[in-house]
Amino acid sequence: GQQLNQSPQSMFIQEGEDVSMNCTSSSIFNTWLWYKQDPGEGPVLLIALYKAGELTSNGRLTAQFGITRKDSFLNISASIPSDVGIYFCAGRTYSGNTPLVFGKGTRLSVIA
């Protein structure tokens, strides 16, 4: 089935640093989503992207829908301890009723 390659698998950063993670696909996607999962919780939607080239911000988070429609990145600026968690990318290849495909996640640790 569909595969999303998400990298890096894990990151250890100092508080205040900026973070970047990305997702690539072998297929063209028409929707990219970024979720965050805290320990013991379900994923929560952070940002949704619907157009190639689209750049969207949510506070300190910024995500972009790649021009090729096969990739997306998520940046977090000035990281804080509560940014710790697992970040998942997810995408959909066609409009309409197709399942979301999820990446394997990027585990972020922030060192105060």
Instruction: Provide the CA 20 distance to its chain's centre, in angstroms.
Output: 9
Whichever of 17 and 38 has its CB closer to other proteins, that residue is 38
Sign of CA dihedral 19, 14, 44, 58: negative
Q: Which residue has the tokens 């506070």?
A: 59
Q: How far apart are CA 87 and CA 93, in angstroms?
A: 20
- Binding residues for other proteins, per CB under 8 A? 4, 6, 31, 33, 40-45, 48, 88, 90, 92, 95-105
Closest CA to 110 of 90, 75, 81: 81
Rounded least distance, CB 23 to other proteins, Å: 10
Whichever of 78 and 94 has its CB closer to other proteins, that residue is 94
Rounded least distance, CB 79 to other proteins, Å: 23
Whichever of 70 and 104 has its CB closer to other proteins, that residue is 104
Are 1 and 63 contacting, i.e. CB atoms less than 8 angstroms apart? no
Rounded least distance, CB 16 to other proteins, Å: 28
Rounded least distance, CB 1 to other proteins, Å: 9
